[in-house]
Structure 1
Amino acid sequence: MSYRTVGDILEFSEGLHRHASALYEQLRDDTQRERVDMMLKLLADHEQRLATALERYRDGNKAAILNEWHQFEAADVADIVMDAKELHMDISVTELVQLALKVDDYLISAYQQLAAEASSAEVRALFEDLANLEQAEKISAVRAALSVDDW
């Protein structure tokens, strides 16, 4: 396992969300199904909101917090979703949401672990906030996915 600063972890998380958002936008170009396109748009927006929030967290924190080191192994979007070949043109809304939630679950778990291992109360609070933000956005994405059936 490697070591990263809090700033590096926030930058990685922001990049992960931006990458996922771009992936969903790219998939929108390949689909002809309206419900899948709407879900991809919702998921791309979800990822973009989280990336923007992480950018604000990074820009709004003191250098002392951002420079604290933690044990953290960064993963790639393809590694997180385990099997990128699952992203195909005929993917269902349900399959798409299950894949999307893997990114949220990965980061929630990472933030919770980082919070538990934090050496300062400020960094612990930061990672707890991030875990809560991810959880709230995950719930929002699931609700949006469930409402796709009503469209």
Structure 2
Amino acid sequence: MRFKPIKEFLAYIEECHIALADLYLRLSLEATDEKVKLLLDFMRNKEQLSFFHLHEYAEQAPGSLLETWLDNVFDQSFPMKCQQMKAQPDLAIDDVVALAMKLDMQLIELMQTAAYNSPTIEAELALENLTNQEEEALHSVVTASHEFEYM
């Protein structure tokens, strides 16, 4: 992506959350361990909530922010990579957490880079706030994984 408005960048991040939710659903359907299934369902719900919060934000954000152009080059294959991941029935909770950390960190780094390269303070602060929300959601995954382990 090069020289795209923030609204298109946010739409891409929304697409990534949907791809993650679909991935976690597929993994849950194939998983054999009940705790892993529960964690994957939690993960899917987290991604759906992240999508809805981001979509709601984009709906309510000022037009001046959404029309701000970003000069941000990045690989747009994240959703496709999620679709191509193979399900493994013998996933453990640690495997799910490691996968979530890896994938969420890719999105967080993408958003941090966009914030850092933003042409205006308004855009930088908006993207930093959205990045912070992503980080908080990732923290909830780690916390939830500990709870699932001790069930």
Give the alignment's TM-score, normalised by structure 2.
0.89
Structure 1 residue 28: Cα displacement: 1.9
Q: 1:80 to 1:114 in 2, by over 3 A?
A: farther
Q: Return 5+ residue gaps in structure 2 as ranges.
A: none
Instruction: Name 1:8's counterpart in structure 2.
Output: 8
Secondary structure of 2:4's match?
A: strand
8 A Cα contact 2:33 2:91, kept in partner: no
8 A Cα contact 1:77 1:103, kept in partner: no
8 A Cα contact 2:24 2:43, kept in partner: yes
Secondary structure of 1:32's match?
A: coil
Is 22-31 or 118-127 further displaced after alignment? 22-31
Give the alignment's TM-score, normalised by structure 1.
0.89
Q: Return 5+ residue gaps in structure 1 as ranges.
A: none
For the aligned residues, what is the CA RMSD? 1.9
Identity %: 23
Instruction: Name 2:92's counterpart in structure 1.
Output: 92
User: How many residues are treated as equivalent by the alignment?
Assistant: 149
Is 99-108 or 133-142 further displaced after alignment? 99-108
Distance 2:81 2:114 in 1: 20
Q: 1:125 to 1:136 in 2, by over 3 A?
A: same
Give runs of ≥4 in structure 1 deviating > 6 Å: none
Distance 1:107 1:76 in 2: 9
